[in-house]
Amino acid sequence: MFEIIGFLAATLTTVAFIPQVMKIYKTNHTADLSLATFSMFTTGVFCWLIYGLYLNSYPMIFANTITFGLALYILIKIFKNRKND
């Protein structure tokens, strides 16, 4: 039962990033996003991924692998757009 709740939480918190990634992909606009926030968030998600691997927790591994990829995409776009400005 708790594994199901874990997968539900993982899915919802991961899917929540998709609209932001899609908007950035379509508009290439990141000026309103905080570099500090996304840097800390991406690092935190990476740490959760490592912890999930240590615990062998599939919900944590699933969610944080995908969320790390999405957050890293946003972070890279922020860096690229700041460099071009």
Confidence of residue 25 (pLDDT cuts 50, 70, 90): very high
**Which of 1, 16, 2 has the alpha carbon at shortest distance from 63?**
16
* Full DSSP string of 21-74: HHHHHHH---TTS-HHHHHHHHHHHHHHHHHHHHHT-HHHHHHHHHHHHHHHHH
Q: What is the pLDDT of residues 44-58, one digit of tens each?
A: 999 999 999 999 988
Number of structural domains found in the chain: 1
> CA 58, 67, 30: angle at the middle one, nearest 5?
180
- Per the model's pLDDT, the better-predicted residue between 13 and 75 turns out to be 75
Q: What range defines the domain where residue 29 resides?
A: 2-84
Please report, for the domain that includes residue 20, its CATH number: 1.20.1280.290
Q: What is the CA radius of gyration of the chain?
A: 14
Position 83 confidence tier, pLDDT thresholds 50, 70, 90 = confident
